[in-house]
Structure 1
Amino acid sequence: MSKHLLPLTALCFALSACSTLTSPFSSGAAPSAQTVAPYREQVELTGRLNVVYQKDDKPESATVNFNWQQTAARTDVTLYSPVGSTLAAIAVTPREAVLTQSGKAPRSAPDVDTLSAQMLGWSLPVSGLRDWLQGYAVGADGKRFVASPANDSVTTKDGWRLRYVSWQEVGQNAADNTPGALPQPRRIDAERNASAQADAVSLRIVLDPATSAPAP
């Protein structure tokens, strides 16, 4: 694993070590049918990512923190170790994906799934995450999926099974939970089975609490 970004001796954690988050809609009340906020092309998010993947037919796991910045034409993802060291910076445009590691020359590929699998040992589905992190996806039927606490799971067109496990509320009145606050994803679980083109992988994404209302 020395050629990969994440040495397992430093960064691997059991899934049970991840914090369990309680949905604000799970205290006996029926799940809210209110959908997430309108999609934003420009957004910045931070959080934690736990990945379980196959290496030599054995399960491996790793945990990283991340900073996510996207615009209409570009996505930038920075991965950090649990102690805050920068592990990699990934820049994705419609033309190519570039991954830069400390002390190494940048590597590029036409798509980030291939590049991350080569460099990290597991696929990071950036094109899908542009939607998923905001509660959107394209379902297996080709239709646009919009998540809500009452409609929290979908299988995507490219075979990922998504489940929105917990939520946070963001909006003008979110602090006192009054009507007007919008549900936003807090924890997202994503799984993909092995295929001829890709190995099996599962992701657990926990977004940091939002501190302000979404921009219009």
Structure 2
Amino acid sequence: MTATLRSLRDAASCMRWALLALLAFMLAACTSLPKPIEGASADAFSRIGRFAITVNEESGKQNAVQGGFSWSDDGRRYVLDLTNPLGSTEARVEGRPGAASLTKADGTRLVADNPDALAEDALGSSMPVSGLRDWLRGKLPADPQATEVTRDELGRPTAFEQGGWRARLSRYDALGPQLLVLERQEPGRRIMVRLVVNPS
């Protein structure tokens, strides 16, 4: 019975981190671009791809989850869909200035003033979700300030620390990086998020 409860607790922990991606954050491979946000401006931005999240505990235990993501952004608001390996949507994150929401497959809905606060409510840990809007474009948000920034010959960021995350961005195309590797050290565990963007 204890082993069963522990297994259920571990599964719940993995799913919380899956929702992060991206709130990530974070795939079954998709074959078409996400539908644009209705009324999107000329600078609308969209990406699709897959994610993997690995949590290494101090005890040596490792939890991992993977799936797909679809990101649509018109510069003011965004929609992020997270899918399981079979392609079914597990969660949708929607955000705009002053508001963000997370809707799970079972209909459960969480709301907050901003995506970072939403991540904290959903995961119990502060996460720089808003930073992903810029990171996916190969840019660095102004706040919090990024440190240890390295850039390629075109001036695009390739490595930095920001908001408690160490990030590596590579495989740039015209829209931004196609590979993002994010690492975060927390008490008792290390988290790694890997986002692979499908070629545009």
TM-score by length of 2: 0.64
Q: Which amino acid aligns with 2:45?
A: V
Aligned to 1:107: 110
One-letter identity of the residue aligned with 1:44: S
CA contact (8 A) 2:49 2:69 kept: yes
Answer 1 or 2: higher relative contact order, Cα 8 Å, separation at least 6.
1
Q: 1:167 aligns with which of 153, 164, 171?
A: 171
Q: How does 1:168-183 map to 2 (within 5 A)?
A: 168-170=172-174
Shift of 1:209: 0.2
Provide the C-alpha distance between the structure 2 equivalents of 1:76 and 1:49, rounded to a whole number of angstroms: 16
Between the two proteins, the alignment pairs up a number of residues equal to 163
2:194, 2:106 → 1: CA distance? 29
Alpha carbons of structure 1 residues 143 and 80: separation in structure 2 relative to 1, 3 Å: closer
| Map of 1:176 onto structure 2 | none
Contact 1:147–1:153 under 8 Å retained in 2: yes
2:3 corresponds in structure 1 to: none
TM-score of the aligned structures, taking structure 1 as reference length: 0.60
Please tell me whether Structure 1 or Structure 2 has the larger radius of gyration of its CA atoms.
Answer: 1
Change (3 A) 1:66 1:51: same
More displaced 10-residue stretch of structure 1: 47-56 or 142-151: 142-151
Would the alpha carbon gap of residues 121 and 41 (structure 1) be closer, same or farther in structure 2, given more than 3 Å must change? farther
Match in the other structure for 1:42: 44
Distance 2:58 2:121 in 1: 14
Structure 2: tracts of 5 or more residues without a match: 1-8, 18-26, 28-41
* Kept after mapping to 1: 8 A contact 2:14/2:65: no
Check conservation: 1:5, 1:87, Cα contact below 8 A.
Answer: no
Quick one: distance in 2 between partners of 1:163 and 1:101?
A: 29
What pairs with 1:141-156 in structure 2 (closer than 5 Å)? 142=145, 147-148=151-152, 152-156=158-162
Aligned counterparts of 1:48 and 1:121: Cα–Cα separation in 2: 24
Aligned to 2:35: none
CA RMSD of aligned residues (A): 3.7
Match of 1:6 among 8, 11, 15: 15
Question: 1:96 & 1:141 partners in 2: Cα distance?
Answer: 19
Amino acid at match of 1:167: R
